[in-house]
Amino acid sequence: MSKYYDIDDIIADEEVVSVIFQKAVSGVGIDPSSETDNVEVGSKVELPLWLAHELQLRQAVSMNVPSCFNQKTRLEIQADSACVNLRSRCPYFYEFGSKIAPLVSDRTIGPLLLSAFKSRYKEVLTKAHTAAFSAASKYPSLLTKEENNLYESAQSSMAAFKKWRMGGPRFQRASVLGRKRKPIE
């Protein structure tokens, strides 16, 4: 329950999963491509995770492993994890992965997440502190939400320190001071 108000956790629940219906369901408009409001057994539909999870608990659907954890992505992460654009695959890669792993009972997702984060972390570390002023850098657009938080926290503390070191006026003049008094009519 500690994450109940965490907005990232809520948005991560919105990621779509493809599911296969095990039961025929009538009277629902879940599948926009079907002509009637009925869903046949065996039809493949993309649903948000929160709905898919509830339906799976009722054994109405079976979940497939989402495409951002497929073999192709895994190979890319193994080859050069720092350059993989995880944001385009799934902006909540880690949160989504840790939610989906027990549901699809795929034991390889956990280690995949850990190894991906471990190797990408080093890149975040070196880039965040050195590139404090190059705001136009393309690097953050490759990062997932969680990595981006990490990157920004390092960058903002470094920028704050540089600002303090450069100094500038220590006391700011209040705007009311030095203004010419209007002649009283």
Q: Which residues bind other proteins (CB under 8 A)?
A: 2-3, 6-8, 94, 98, 101-102, 107, 109-111, 113-114, 117-118, 121-122, 125-126, 128-129, 146, 149-150, 152-154, 156-158, 160-161, 163-165, 167, 170
Q: Which positions ≥6 away from 20 have C-beta within 8 Å? A: 42, 43, 44, 45, 61, 62, 64
3-class SS at 63? strand
Beta carbon of residue 66, minimum distance to other proteins (angstroms, whole number): 16
**Least distance to other proteins from the beta carbon of 31, Å?**
32
- Nearest distance, CB of residue 97 and other proteins, angstroms: 8
Query: Shortest Cβ distance from residue 110 to other proteins (Å)?
Result: 3
Distance CA 137, CA 29 (A): 44
| Nearer CB in complex with other proteins: 60/87 | 87
Strand partners, 20: 44, 62
Question: Shortest CA distance to 117 belongs to which of 138, 160, 148, 88?
Answer: 148
Nearer Cβ to other proteins, position 21 or 93? 93
Closer residue to other proteins, CB minimum distance, 25 or 150 = 150
Please say which residue, 30 or 82, places its beta carbon nearer to other proteins: 82
Torsion from C-alpha of 110, 1, 152, 125, nearest 10 degrees: -30
